[in-house]
Amino acid sequence: MGNLKNIVLIVIGIMSNISTIANENQSSFYTKSHEQKALEIYRDLIAYRTAAGHGQVPLMAQYLAKIFINGGFIENDVNVLPFKSNKGEDIAGLVVRYRGDGSSNKKPILLIAHMDIVDALPKDWEKNPYKLIEEDGYFFGRGTSDNKMGVTTLTTTFLRLKAESFIPTRDIIIVFTGDEESGMVSTELLVTKHRDLTDAEFALNSDDGGGGLNSNHVPTSYWISAAEKTYASYELTVRNSGGHSSTPRTDNAIYELADALKKVQKHRFPVRYNDITLNFFAKSALSASGELGEAFLTFSKDPNNQKASDFLFQTSYAGITRTTCVATMLSAGHAENALPQSAKATINCRIFPGIEPNSIMSELQSIVGKEVEIEMLGKPKASPASDLRDDVTHAITKAVHARYPNIPIIPAMVPWGTDGKILRANGIPTYGVSGMFIRDEDAFAHGLNERMPVKSFFSALEHWYIILHELTGKK
């Protein structure tokens, strides 16, 4: 009987351990109070449909402001600023200042993220895009990666530091923008009209940079984004008097536009480079193989090597070597039985940092000829590259290597656009240093069933915690 009792106790103990392990595995990413708070905020933010046209951005800003005030920030340091989008919709920005003791004698650091999202239609998704769903090691929902993860992790880090009575050596300022996906009006006004609230030595962008995982979820590298290409669109138009379709004429507007587009297709803008891109190719060459690795290394040593630049032009890295322009939209004619009186095409360009959009328009005009009208759409603004900083690189390296030792830290120029380009254009150097690590096959920002690895989300909290301690903590 005694032996049986002992066996039963042993079995109960084993089962208890198994249950404990299972429970730990189930909640292993959010057992700490700040992780639980992050999950609560993340869940609430995903529920806001902050896409253009839904009026939810001001509500989300007010929700966040209340969280900061309840977390110990005084009301005067939590500012919800009302704006109008480029389509007249009410939007908002949020600025929160974490006051330091000034002992570093340095200007503040900005931390940026955007509250708005690209819209998601629930009927198209497998899951409700406006409900945070955890499944198979992922969080699903619109904005889980772009960029409510950034908003959540920055907010939670501020709350955590405040709860720990952390006093930085300089002010730290959170800036949450309201229309990054649809115009960046709030971004521009936050760093111009409200520069008294946002002026800083430099900014860290939660919406850019970050780490890559291979198909087996093994980390490969981490990018610090220090430059973005300028986004600019141009409309090409060919006109004539048209006529009856039964009597074709030689100067058909559609054919002439097609000829012009073929010229744009064949054109290659000059090779461009800067310290960031040369550094990017040099470090990327260490992990690339075959012809790609050889092209990386050759370009990094001699960017004027035509063989290397021609090879890279045929890859997804073409945009890092030069300005690129591509036709994206067409419109022509007014009736099926009439010759077109006009034909129009939209050309979208991603312009190398430091090159003015007007100069690209002039180059396009020379390519297509004087018979084709060209109009620049909107008012694109050239944005310079940000010089790499040793203090930022050191802090990011420490934060990344705390999770993934020895992976390469690579400075990068990205072909897309974020709020960072507005800050750089207005004199605030900006560095994309997201805490995200994700596989290419899991990157669904702007697409269906957007997701974020659960592990990546929670480890990003430590990423920002380490960075802020390194840059603003007492040594």
Domain residue spans of the chain: 33-208+418-472
**pTM of the entire predicted model:** 0.86
Decide if 458 contacts 29 (C-beta within 8 A). yes
What dihedral do alpha carbons 180, 181, 183, 188 form, nearest 10°? 10
Whether domain 33-208+418-472 has CATH 3.40.630.10: the reply is yes
Decide if 365 contacts 235 (C-beta within 8 A). no
pLDDT of residue 30: 65
What pLDDT, in 10s, does the model give residues 84-120? 999 999 999 999 999 999 999 999 999 999 999 999 9
Buried b (16+ CB within 10 A) or exposed e, 195-225: eebbebebbbbbbbbbbbbeeeeebebbbbb
Q: How is 338-387 classified by DSSP, letter by letter?
A: EE-SEEEEEEEEEEPTT--HHHHHHHHHHHH-TTSEEEEES-----PPPP
Residue 332: is it exposed, middle or buried by C-beta count within 10 angstroms (0-12/13-18/19+)? middle
Low-confidence stretches of the chain (pLDDT < 70) are: 1-31
Q: How far apart are CA 62 and CA 30, in angstroms?
A: 26
